Amino acid sequence: MTDIVRFGGAQIPCSSSIDANLITLKKAIDWAAENDVEYLVTPEAALSGYSDDFNDNPAKLADALAEIELYAIKKHVGLCLGTLWNEIEFNGNIKRNQIRYYKNDGKFLGITNKNITIEQDARMGIVNDHRILGMILPVGPTSEQVILAGGLICVDLFGTIDRDNVPSVLYSMGIKLMIHATNGMRGEWPTNPEETELADEVMDHWHDANFRRYSFLSKVPIITVDNCYMMDGKEYHGKTSSQSGVIINGRWATKVPRTGTQYFYYDFNLKDIVYTPPINTDTL
């Protein structure tokens, strides 16, 4: 049995080019492998890019995903991979903004979809998913222990008007870790570009206050990773929309610089986050 589980985060450029994103993700996986990371978290839409034309060539996106899956297996790195994706569901093919979870032996563990979609998602045909699901992540070489994690994408953590508060629902489900892949607006305030600096500052504080408050109130750690380019994938060297790192009990336990590619990891004490199944009273 292992005592800790190492999660890594990759604050990386999420460009509109799948080819470029593949190279970026492989580099992040290389870093994760060198640092014995068990699960690597990427930003929102890190593979597909967050651009209106992500779906112009679904075969290319599928090939890219297969390539990353194989690469991560080879490097023995588990993934919490943010991507837009044409998901084949019960009711047909639905475009989702999702986190895809893989164990470090390549086993696909499942997905969590963005719950609260925004205007940009709608423009891309992304459908929100009202289901709020926990994700079981096996840890250690024999997978005998598991973590019940909650996946949140961007505004899912910060909330919106008239919608379920996702962190509070996940907390009620008993999750022990929040995984937050994000790609917030920055560097260009659409309603009034002249106010971009103020908007960025207000939104940065808004994000920070939410992270700290939710982790403080719930005592559930949060690992969060942002894109370091513009939301739509344009090259950008300013500050990310939100801090990437790990927050525990209302304080940042690890942080990275706010610009450019940055990697980090954090060793969670398993006793704090391991999932304890409910007692089966039939056996008592």
Partner 1 sequence: MTTIRFAGAQIPVTPYTQTNVMEIRRAIDWAAENRVDYLVTPEASLSGYTKDFHNNHNRIIDALLEIEKYAANKHVGLCLGTLWDELDGIRRNQIRFYNPEGIFLGAVNKHFQIEYDTEVGVLGDSRKYLIALPINDKIIPIGGLICVDMYGVPDQPSIPYILKNLGATVLIHSTNGIRNIKPTNGLSTELSDQIANDWHDINLRRASFLRRTPILTVDNCYMFDGTEYYGNTSSESGVLIDGEWVTKVPRSGTQYFYYDLPLTNIAIDMPDFFKST
Q: Kindly state the number of chain residues that form the binding site for partner 1, as judged by CB under 8 A.
A: 23
Interactions with partner 1, residue window 70-99 (CB under 8 A): none
Tell me how far CA of residue 239 lies from CA of 8, 123, 203, 210, 242, in angstroms. 20, 25, 12, 18, 8
Closest CA to 14 of 153, 115, 127, 142: 153
Nearer to partner 1, 165 or 261 (CB): 165
Nearer to partner 1, 34 or 197 (CB): 197
Interface with partner 1, residue 255, by CB under 8 A: no
Interface pattern 133-162 for partner 1 (x via CB under 8 A): --------------------------x-xx
Spacing of C-alpha 132 from chain mean position: 15
Question: Between vectors from CA 90 to CA 88 and to CA 91, what angle results, nearest 5°?
Answer: 90
Residue choice 206, 234, 269, 276 for contact with partner 1 (CB under 8 A):
206
Angstrom distance (rounded) from CA 31 to CA 11: 12
Smallest gap from residue 194 Cβ to partner 1 (A): 12
Interface with partner 1, residue 217, by CB under 8 A: yes
Interface with partner 1, residue 198, by CB under 8 A: yes
Strand blocks (E) in the chain? 4-11, 39-41, 78-89, 92-102, 108-113, 134-139, 145-153, 177-182, 222-226, 245-248, 251-255, 262-269
Interface with partner 1, residue 53, by CB under 8 A: no
Question: Where does this chain bind partner 1 (CB under 8 A)?
Answer: 159, 161-165, 168, 198-199, 202-203, 205-206, 208-209, 212-213, 216-217, 219, 249-251
